[in-house]
Amino acid sequence: MFCALPLELLKADPDAFTGRIFRFLNLPVQHPDTAQKSNTGWGALTVEGYRLTNGVIRSNPLGRPDPWAFRARAALTRRVDRIVPRRLHRASEQHKRETLKARIGDTFAQSNARLAQMVDINLKALGYG
């Protein structure tokens, strides 16, 4: 027996997401405090910039300490992420979504419909075609 939940449900309805987990485990439902966001990650443009340097700046494969260039890139990335306007990140994310939708089309429509039926979740409402 397993519990399958799309990550989009966590963002769309955190109470429903956690409720399903607790009910699956046969435990009393406890809802997290979602008033304050945590571990939000970088914006789309920041991630793209970071990825562009992955081939040049690498972490130490043998563990700590990481090379100075790796640490400097991480510090610079955090600073840049704070100053780039959120609207630019959102525009980049939207562009990526549209590009993926154009490439993928309805390739996964049948398998998504089967999955939605199996897990009893309206995947279309969560953005799955």
Distance CA 67, CA 58 (A): 8
**Model pTM?**
0.61
Torsion, Cα 87 93 97 100, to 10 degrees, reads: 140
pLDDT of residue 124: 84
Q: Would you place residue 39 in the very low, low, confident or very high pLDDT band (cuts 50, 70, 90)?
A: low
Report yes or no: 57 and 73 within 8 Å, Cβ to Cβ: yes
pLDDT single digits (tens) 55-109: 888 777 787 787 888 889 989 999 999 999 999 999 999 999 899 889 988 888 8
Q: Identify the three-state secondary structure at position 8.
A: helix
